[in-house]
Amino acid sequence: MKKMIVVILSVIIFSMVFSATITEIKAKGKLLVGTEPTFPPFEYVDENNNIVGFDIDIAQRIADKLGVKLEIVNLPFDSLIPALMQNKIDLIIAGMTITEKRAKVVDFSVPYFNANQSIVVREGEKFRPVKLEDLKGRKVAVQLGTTGDIVVSEISEIKVVRFQKFTDAFLELQNKRVDAVVLDEAVARAYVKKFPKFVVSAVIDTGEKYGIAVKKGNSELLNFVNNVISEMFKSPYDLLVEKWFEKAQQ
């Protein structure tokens, strides 16, 4: 039994430590980036069925710097970290907020985007919450595993309804089965601009920062990603912001 335990522990430790080096990524000729493409303008599927967005352009730049092809792996948001830990992907670029809990199991790049949460309700109704506490006693839809899920779950009086896709959360709001949706501000504003039947009732200053997730201990790849982000801040980053966020407001 002791031998079996040692073997199991060894497998777990090996799985945690082993991850693709830059040399191995170049050898296979592609960078595997996990995302959940229902989060415009960061990542979404366009009219030509291509996964595009702010995060995807950043992923493409990292792949270009590595000299390899970019391959986007479409996964549910709550499956991204397990996939990274199991070596099914090399990076997570998915509008993922850096949190202490997540940082215990993955390594995060330097922040590349500052974000807040927002409360969205139906247009034309009297209910206009201005803070999270106003949602007490209400049914609130969120995307599973997101920061929106985390912040509303901390308030026990809120009835949280979770979905794999934030668009399903909005469908529940449209059909009056929930009272509000809580999600990232940039995504909320882009969606409300497209569907004026909803309105952003409040923005919650949560001081969030998005980071790119790398497997724990893969300092080589993490340093490379950090260098690419640092280079982007010098010029291309502003162009990406203008490209994706001004487009979302049109």
Pure H helices in the chain: 2-17, 22-28, 54-66, 80-85, 100-103, 147-153, 166-174, 185-194, 219-232, 236-248
pLDDT tier for residue 246 given thresholds of 50, 70 and 90: low
For the segment 171-194, the average pLDDT, to the nearest whole number, is 93
Q: Is the distance from CB of 211 to CB of 126 less than 8 angstroms?
A: no
What domains are there in the chain, each with its CATH number?
2-112+211-248 (3.40.190.10), 116-207 (3.40.190.10)
Q: Is the distance from CB of 120 to CB of 99 less than 8 angstroms?
A: no
What's the pLDDT score for residue 237?
72
Task: Read off the pLDDT of residues 128-153 as tens digits, 9 standing for 90 and up.
Answer: 999 999 999 999 999 998 899 999 99
What's the pLDDT score for residue 3?
43
What's the pLDDT score for residue 193?
87
Q: Which residue has the tokens 């300092």?
A: 219
Which comes out higher in pLDDT, residue 206 or 69?
Answer: 69
Q: Measure the CA–CA gap between 182 and 161, rounded to whole angstroms.
A: 11
What's the pLDDT score for residue 244?
80
Q: Considering the entire predicted model, what is its pTM?
A: 0.75
Average pLDDT, the chain: 89
Task: Read off the pLDDT of residues 50-62 as tens digits, 9 standing for 90 and up.
Answer: 999 999 999 999 9
**Looking at residue 126, what DSSP letter applies?**
S
Q: Measure the CA–CA gap between 59 and 147, rounded to whole angstroms.
A: 22
Give the Cβ contact number of residue 205 at 10 Å. Answer: 8
